[in-house]
Amino acid sequence: MSETFVVTEHLNGEFQDITFEMLGKAKSLGGNVTAVVFGSMKDKASELGAADAVISVGGSDDYNPEEYAAALKSLLNEKNPDLVLVGSTSMGMDIATPVGTALDIPVIAYCQAIEASDGGYTCTSQLYGGKMDVESKVSSPAIVMVSSGAFDGESGRVSGSPSVEDFSAEYGAGKVRFKALLSPEAADVDITQSNILVAIGRGIGSKDDVEVAEELAKALKADVAGTRPLIDAGWLPKSRQVGKSGLKVKPKVYIALGISGAPEHIEGMKDSSTIIAINTDKNAPIFDIAHYGMTEDLFDVVEDLMDEL
């Protein structure tokens, strides 16, 4: 029977969403699923009910890339699982490649889909900001870095009583020391929880015209979001960015004003229940996923909409 290890991630004493997304996918592949936890997170093993077992490698609750990579290398060298799932996150990027290199195990990055096949695994990865899908076939053992949001986390968010094993990992003396965790200032609004979003792109024209979207959002009791170019220009705060390098959102209604629909942006909002796109370019990619679209001037449409509201 195959064995899949899921390398969990935690922050401030809580497992991150990517942990449950990987657990759910691992369970669907069949075989035994083991969650690997660090620090004192074994005390929350009951939250990892989707796993058949939990292995605690100890160490500090404070993330240290050298220590975590050394512990994972030590564990995999002894246990030799068929598949290891690691988040395609800042943490995963720190530890997956050095561990794979040290153990001579293939590492697949930016994975969006995994299927068991012919004694190994077939993985589909998105490269170049989502412009290209690449299919890779690897034999066991292999390390796969899973993109955040690629799989449903609810199937992995299961309570239970998996067995817990303490593993004496070899950490070694690294050069990296944890000093402090610096958290960004709290955002004025969490757009991932918004039911309605009015999102703006370059078509809004200028910073002064952002007010048009804000007035529409107020009338709809919605929140304003934007694409990366607007955030980079300082027109909206980082907390309002939708896309691959921003936030993934799933509102009931997503109104895209002047957004062309680059793959990086679409990745962050494609699962919205209803997508309404307004763009004068009839060939804009946003229309490929929109449920409703208008090739009209966004300012004229918003003005008429505000009159109706």
Average pLDDT over residues 195-208: 92
| DSSP single-letter state for residue 181 | -
Can you name the CATH fold of 191-308?
Rossmann fold (3.40.50)
Quick: pLDDT tens for 225-275: 999 999 989 999 888 999 877 888 999 999 999 999 888 898 889 889 999
Question: If phi over 0 gives left and psi between -120 and 50 gives alpha, with beta otherwise, what is residue 302?
Answer: alpha
Number of helical (H) and strand (E) elements in the chain, helices listed first: 7, 16
The pLDDT of residue 253: 96
Lowest mean pLDDT among 87-91, 134-138, 222-226: 87-91
Mean pLDDT across the chain, nearest whole number?
Answer: 90
Question: Which residue(s) pair with 219 in the sheet?
Answer: none
Q: Predicted confidence band at 129 (pLDDT cuts at 50, 70, 90)?
A: low
Residue among 189, 175, 148, 183 at smallest CA distance from 20:
148
Residue 275 pLDDT: 96
Q: 187: pLDDT confidence band, cut at 50, 70 and 90?
A: low
pTM above 0.85, yes or no: no
- pLDDT score of 123 more than 70: yes
Whether 191-308 and 3-166 are alike in CATH topology: the answer is yes
**One-letter identity of residue 252:** K
Cα–Cα distances (Å) from 150 to 4, 52, 123, 125, in that order, read 18, 22, 12, 10
How far is it, in rounded angstroms, from Cα 58 to Cα 177?
A: 17
User: pLDDT tier at 174 (50, 70, 90 boundaries)?
Assistant: confident
d(CA 4, CA 205): 50
Query: Beta 3-7 vs 10-11: how paired, if at all?
Result: unpaired
Question: What is the dotted CATH code of the domain comprising 3-166?
Answer: 3.40.50.620
Structure-block tokens of residue 233: 């220009």
Q: What number is the average pLDDT over the span 103-130?
A: 88
* Rounded Cα–Cα distance for residues 73 and 59 (Å): 14
Left, alpha or beta for 303 (phi > 0: left; psi -120 to 50: alpha)?
Answer: alpha
Q: Quick check: bond before 98 cis, omega within 30?
A: no
Of the pLDDT bands very low, low, confident and very high (cuts 50, 70, 90), residue 290 is: very high
pLDDT for residue 29 is more than 80: yes
Q: Which pLDDT belongs to residue 304? A: 93
Domain ranges of the chain: 3-166, 191-308
Please choose, from the candidates 129, 145, 28, 33, the residue with its C-alpha nearest in 3D space to the C-alpha of residue 93. Answer: 145
Confidence of residue 130 (pLDDT cuts 50, 70, 90): low
